Structure 1
């Protein structure tokens, strides 16, 4: 490891040391988006998380889901969530990409149908959790999630509240992919900076200290540098006494 890389990782080590000095354990969790079928990339993601004792939450697109997915999952401890309906932008170019827009007359039925399909395919692996594509959801629909049968919601950035009615909210905070720069690795400084910033804000009370720091991945687009970073992060956290991976089935407890 070069001096520059060592210095970058040392920021994480130093932050974890502060948690340890305070007698606290920094909690983490892992969400991987855009699942649907068995691929070499998804197999690699599952092998990586399994090797480190991590239970990932696979955000699965109903319209992409195929029987090869549960066949692949049979050898791994992974949970699943519903990732919208078709991961299709319905903004009409009027704004940022969004599928779960308010005011679409067919959307609630499409969500229900998608959940039924995933339930039939994934059985008890599927949690009653909605992960909005592009991490965006209309405020009216968001308020309707409880009546629609959802008990969990996961998007991006620190949550404002742990619960919204009957819905438990657990978000992600680190995305190592530079989406607007060719979908390449954002770099260790940027990726670790996101992790350290959220840990620091939790420790100092600027955000909800009980929300575990969420690592967001997209197995289908990872380049070699992204994989190397994720392997290094998993190695680092597995060995640190002040770090602990959380199981999404427990984070979203009560979401059958």
Structure 2
């Protein structure tokens, strides 16, 4: 069913009346190799002129992926180490939660960075994306010493820096209905959410200097998710949104 876009259109009009802009970025998780799904992601990203920050699982990343990404404007970032949960079955999944020794997790984070630096060379963005967007505070504090400059999880950040020397750049809208169909969250719910998120930013309740992040997982998208992602980003970029891409000395 086609959603009613008017709540978002009305909020975007308020932004434009006030001369506000929405920095917009795109993160896609779980890449390991070239696939037809990745090709669809690349094509959509290029058509929308919005580069994707591609969260790559280091332990499984292939040379073929590095070769393909080198031909695009996608930006690889570090997605944990093996994307394996160490949490008990009674808790939410986490690879870097408080379920094993901190030094083991820091070693894995360093191994992930080193592996992808070798694979992608200068193209790698020094951003850490913990699988399932969960990470223990002591690991956050240790990331800058490993060479990371940014951390990305989910929901609006509460401060610009997650730790000294580590900027927080989160994602905010995930179109996948993980707990039910694993297809698209009801489209109207997503439209209403982003309109509400933008209203909170306009009112100063959340930080509009933080790029607004669209979070996708190309490997499991169906046509409904692809179509909504396309329509949403197209609409935002036709309004107050501006393309944001990580720069090595970002101060966002």
Q: Same fold (TM over 0.5)?
A: yes
Residue among 75, 78, 94 paired with 2:74: 78
Q: What's the secondary structure of 1:168's corresponding residue?
A: strand
Deviation, structure 1 residue 244: 1.1
Deviation, structure 1 residue 76: 1.3
1:15 and 2:11 correspond: yes
- TM-score, normalising length from structure 1? 0.92
Q: 1:161 maps to what in 2?
A: 159
Structure 1: any 5+ residue segments left out of the alignment?
A: none
Residue among 101, 105, 118 paired with 2:116: 118
Structure 2: any 5+ residue segments left out of the alignment?
A: none
Q: 1:99 maps to what in 2?
A: 95
State the aligned residue count: 248
In the TM superposition, structure 1's runs of 4+ consecutive aligned residues that sit over 4 Å from their partners are none
- TM-score, normalising length from structure 2? 0.93
Whole-angstrom distance in 1 between the partners of 2:120 and 2:52 = 15
Deviation, structure 1 residue 30: 0.5
Q: 2:134 maps to what in 1?
A: 136
Deviation, structure 1 residue 213: 1.3
Q: Deviations over 1:15-61 (max 9, x none)?
A: 11010010111221100011111111111111101111111111111
Whole-angstrom distance in 2 between the partners of 1:94 and 1:150 = 31
Deviation, structure 1 residue 230: 1.0
Whole-angstrom distance in 1 between the partners of 2:247 and 2:89 = 36
Deviation, structure 1 residue 239: 2.5
Q: 2:179 maps to what in 1?
A: 180
Once superposed, what is the RMSD of the aligned Cα atoms?
1.6
Q: What's the secondary structure of 1:34's corresponding residue?
A: strand
Whole-angstrom distance in 2 between the partners of 1:253 and 1:179 = 32
